[in-house]
A and B are shown apart, each in its own frame.
Chain A
Amino acid sequence: MRIVEHPILDFQRGEKVTFYFDGQPVEGYTEETIAAALHAAGIRVLGHSPELHRPRGLFCAIGNCSSCLMVVNGEPNVRVCVEKVQPGMKVETQKGKGCLR
């Protein structure tokens, strides 16, 4: 859920666009990260661990921990906590370690 009114902050989110999460359209803003847009849409499972297939979500949100790796426009292992939303972008849940094309 996005914060509409805040006592201190005024959010500059950029332009409203649509991107795709596992084929489903999701609304996002060009100045926010993919992880933030997915959270705003209530999506918190971003992938599954390679060995035990346990659900993975956001942990550090600053590109440190690699808990949020997803496939973005076909490219695996993208840290969606630091990657900004772009119109039409295809974001997919990553299974396993991902393959380089």
Chain B
Amino acid sequence: MKQTEILVVGGGPAGLCAASAAAELGADVLILERDSKPGGQLVKQTHKFFGSKKQYAGDRGIQIGDFLLEQVESNPKVEVWPDATCLGIYEDGVVTAEKDDKHIKIKPERIIIATGAAEKALMFPNNDLPGIYGAGAVQTLMNVAGVVPGKRVLMVGAGNIGLIVSYQLLQAGVEVAAVIEAAPHIGGYLVHASKIRRAGVPILTSHTVKEAYGNDTLEGAIICRLDEKWQPIPGTEQDIKADVMCLAVGLSPLTELCWQAGCKMKYIAELSGHVPVRNEYLETTRPGLYVAGDVSGVEEASSAMVEGRLAGISAALSLGYGKDKAPQLQAEALAELKELRSGPTGEKIMNGIMKLLGKEGAAC
């Protein structure tokens, strides 16, 4: 059985930062990453990040991913296992994983779950046709494999992901027929929206997909307008020819391991679904099991990195590492999270976290 002090499940922004922070305080860390290259969704993000320098603002996601990976790989306290999928967490604290077609048992003293999130689908007739993808899948095809998904794309969702992926499609030489958004407003940053509008792509708010059509693969979709009660308005249907539809309609936390480990879970709409109940330092109701990043509530990669750091410090401190400096580092991470969550989107996240901590209505 493999022994380690801290096991991190998931090598995305949260997991890599958790591993670095814990190892810097002196703990031995093992990272399990199911993909062949750690970095999570950063490996496909070609856009530059916003925010402050501490969360790598101004750098592209791919560069941040490489930097975080170098940081853990250069630390002898961290072991990284790519192509390793965590399978289960048992009552006696044993964790099982699949790696190189072998079933492996691991006995960690602390666990940090940083499994991220999965893309949501959207309900409409023929939504299972090949050619209809999650927006992240199109990013993976385009920016990791360098393969375009098709010729003409209908983008569904004008949040940041929908807007950014539309721009990346244009960069890759693919036509974007339109971006449609069910809400009456564009959800993402206007700087992203302006870029694609300048390129001539219409953004249609209060619009949704009525149905998709195609023989074997997608050929087009009927879209329609929605009234203020989000009901389709008859007679407003438009036929959009497209061989690709990209769904950028949000993410759900990937919480299977949390459920299976027996963490107490709670449905919090502001955090995008069921999330594990945890304290301020990200420890769940199962002692010694921490969470960080999108699995504890869908947000941006910047907050995932800081949450990862906070979970890593907290897990290391609970093992007796860094007693002198860890409390200060925890306070710094909490202050950074507060700052990241200070905007209008952050307010929603803060409300969700307050509900999760059972402090509804409390000032934060």
Contact = CB atoms under 8 A, between A and B. Distances in A.
Q: Do A and B come from one complex?
A: yes
Interface in A6-60: 6-9, 11, 13, 32-33, 35-36, 39-40, 44-46, 49, 54-60
Contact of A45 (B130, B134, B254): B130
Given A9-B46, A46-B130, 19 more contacts: A3-B146, A3-B173, A9-B146, A13-B146, A40-B145, A44-B130, A44-B217, A57-B129, A57-B132, A57-B217, A58-B137, A58-B141, A60-B136, A61-B134, A62-B136, A64-B118, A65-B118, A81-B140, A84-B36
A93 B121 CA distance: 24
Which among B128, B138, B145 has the greatest number of chain A C-beta atoms within 10 A?
A: B145
B171 A55 contact: no
Across the A-B interface, give the 6 residue pairs with the lowest CB-CB distance, nearest first.
Answer: A57-B130, A36-B145, A61-B137, A11-B146, A61-B140, A44-B130
> Chain A binding site: helix, strand, loop or mixed by DSSP?
loop
A9 B45 CA distance: 11
A67 B131 CA distance: 12
Interface in B26-61: 34-36, 46, 60
Interface of B: 34-36, 46, 60, 62, 118-119, 121, 128-134, 136-138, 140-149, 171-173, 216-217, 254
Contacts of A36: 141, 144-145, 147
A7 B119 contact: no
Contacts of A64: 118-119, 254
A62 B137 contact: yes
B137 A33 contact: no
A59 to B, nearest CB: 6
A1 interface: yes
A40 B131 CA distance: 13
A43 to B, nearest CB: 9
B147 A1 contact: yes
B48 to A, nearest CB: 10
Contacts of B141: 35-36, 39, 58, 61
B86 to A, nearest CB: 13
11 contacts: A2-B147, A3-B146, A7-B171, A33-B145, A55-B129, A58-B141, A60-B133, A63-B34, A64-B119, A82-B35, A84-B36
B37 to A, nearest CB: 10
A59 B145 CA distance: 15
Contacts of A46: 130
B35 A32 contact: no
Nearest to A36: B145
B57 to A, nearest CB: 17
Contacts of B132: 57, 59
Contacts of B143: 9
A50 to B, nearest CB: 13
Contacts of A63: 34-35
A56 B130 contact: yes
Q: Which of B142, B147, B216 has the most CB of A within 10 A?
A: B147
Given A44-B130, A45-B216, A3 B137 contact: no
A76 B340 CA distance: 45
Contact of A59 (B34, B134, B254): B134
Contacts of A82: 34-35
A3 B148 contact: yes
A56 B141 CA distance: 17
A27 to B, nearest CB: 12
A49 B128 contact: yes
A54 B35 CA distance: 29
B223 to A, nearest CB: 20
B130 A62 contact: no
Contacts of A3: 142, 146-148, 172-173
